[in-house]
Chains A and B, each alone.
Chain A
Amino acid sequence: MEFTAALQKLGGYQPRSSLKAKETLKTGVAQLRSGTFPPRGDNGFETAEGLFLAALDEGDVETAQQCLEILVNKFPESPRVDCLTGILMEAKESPDDVLNFYTALLEADSSNAAIWRRKAGVLRRKGKIDQAVEELCALLDTFYTEVEAWLELADIYSSCQQYTHALQTLSHALLLAPQNPLHVLHFAETAYLVPDIPLALKMFLQAVDMTDDDEQDGISPADTVPTGLALRAWFGVKLCTHKLVTEPKASNSPSQIASPTANVLASLDDLATERLRTAYLETTRESPPTAGAQFIEAVARIIPA
């Protein structure tokens, strides 16, 4: 299982500079120079893989190359090392070469999901969105449980403004990880863009329900200050209620979700405003403007990305 999880992680890996990667790289390079790399023991080669990824995060192709050589010498046939080879090739060779490499690997073993995902990723970065979508769809048709791949597909759809498709894709991610409020929030935001405001409102509320910790030392959620995901969800609620109140056309829902009655809507709007006002007071120490549109604009500045 551990091996599968590692492969899944490599399948979705993208270089991203971080403080942790810098530290790993620093200690790793020192060890490499002094010839004590990889460290002995069970985790030695995992450390080598970690250093490899950290080096790529920081763009240090040399070090990555050295780590890869250590790993290739130790495990010449491993699909995991194949995947690492591919990642390094992406960093220094042309996309076409990498694609050829991946295609050859997939021909030898068509069930290698990690390589398949990397191939789709390369296609996407090369600008061949249509092929990337095709590959991802085929991948997900075979390996249904790859949540990360579903999210990536949804991201591609959203970037092409295919929000309805993105929603369908996200609904699979919701099914696979129903406990994750991030997916719910993501779904709600995409629904807002469709636009399917009643659905978005429901999902935002659902996200609120999942993120405000209602059993915090007996303090009722009404007395807490919303932060993080909950704040973002409340902001979404406010946007939806504002839109539903001001624009009568917004209650049209492609997915036939009835928008709440005027009474409920008014109290929701009131509640969301109160919550956001609390958060705004807490962060900026001044009270936000009261008018609807200006209020939203002011609050938008404190919403975490």
Chain B
Amino acid sequence: MSSSAVSLYLDPQIRDWVLFPITIVMILVGVLRHYVVLLLQSPPKKQPKEAIREQRALMRSQILRATAAWSPVPPTYYKSISQSLSKAYEDGSFLKDGPPKGDEKPTPPNPLSDPNAMDGMMAGMKTQMVMMVPQMIIMGWINFFFQGFVLIKLPFPLTLGFKSMLQRGIETPDMDVRWVSSLSWYFLNFFGLNGLYRMILGNDNAADSSRDMNTPFAAAAMAPQPGQPQDYNKLFKAERDNLEFSEGLYTWTASDVEARILKKYGRVV
């Protein structure tokens, strides 16, 4: 073991001219990227009030139904709210484009022709580009200039299993696993700098690259799907059934309140 410990002596120039530059460049690129992403992000589009009304219409009946089994509202008032909501859903008066006319089928708009949807997609693409391009450049830079460099020796021993992780780019079956190659140092930084960014830039920074590495497509899927607008008309029709169920469930909190109060105060009738 002792022979392998002294077998390699790293030139301090490697530390000064390879190890530190790679680390510093990666940190700076991360910070720069954070600000570029901030610049690229366009503020979310304001929705007209009709659209908000349509979106929130379902919430009304959900609020009503949430307490239906033990409702604070007297029966006549509950019924009138429930029925007027049901009627509004039926007529489609919550829809932002007004009630549907006749039996004309609404065709889902083509996402490529809708400028709003295009904007959303482009914004996603732009951030993706800002994420990927610098990382590819840095990796090329390291591969071109420092391929096969051994940069650092870890202060603790590791098992052989870590060899592929720590010595990427160097094909030496006998070297101690504690030596880290340049390419592996890049990957360690790539995944490990997140904590540092969080310290420098605050909690939701855009600098962390490993995040989009993990989920480049999940992020896109999470975004509101521009291609499939919600068919609110259908949702409203379905909600009517729920309203009817809740009307059956309905009880009023105050329906036996006299008995409750009298019992609480120890009076018996």
Contact = CB atoms under 8 A, between A and B. Distances in A.
Contact of B261 (A168, A171, A209, A256): A209
Given A142-B49, A172-B81, A175-B64, A222 B265 contact: yes
A214 B81 contact: no
Contacts of A264: 258-259, 262, 269
Contact of A142 (B56, B64, B71, B72): B56
Contact of B77 (A255, A263, A268): A255
A212 B262 CA distance: 13
Contacts of A175: 63-64, 67, 71-73, 81
B81 A202 contact: no
B132 interface: no
Interface residues of A, number: 39
Interface in A211-267: 212, 214, 220-222, 255-257, 260, 263-264, 267
Contacts, number: 100
A225 to B, nearest CB: 13
B67 A171 contact: no
B101 interface: no
B266 A171 contact: no
A109 interface: yes
B48 interface: yes
Contacts of B56: 142-145
13 contacts: A111-B46, A111-B49, A144-B63, A145-B63, A171-B81, A175-B64, A199-B74, A203-B74, A255-B76, A256-B75, A260-B258, A267-B267, A267-B269
A286 interface: no
Given A111-B49, A206-B257, A263-B269, A271 B262 contact: yes
A107 to B, nearest CB: 11
Output the residue of B59, B74, B77 with the most chain A CB within 10 A: B74
A202 B254 contact: yes
Contacts of A178: 67, 71-72
B52 A111 contact: yes
A202 B59 CA distance: 28
B53 interface: yes
B80 interface: yes
A165 to B, nearest CB: 12
A143 B52 contact: yes
A209 B257 contact: yes
B52 A142 contact: yes
Interface string A47-88: 000000000000000000000000000000000000000000
A106 B81 CA distance: 29
A255 to B, nearest CB: 4
Contact of B46 (A109, A176, A212, A220): A109
Contacts of B63: 144-145, 175-176
Interface string B78-93: 1011000000000000
B52 A174 contact: no
A271 B254 contact: no
A114 interface: no
Interface string B111-139: 00000000000000000000000000000
Contacts of A256: 75-76
Contacts of B253: 206
B1 to A, nearest CB: 54
Contact of A171 (B48, B77, B259, B262): B77
A171 B257 contact: no
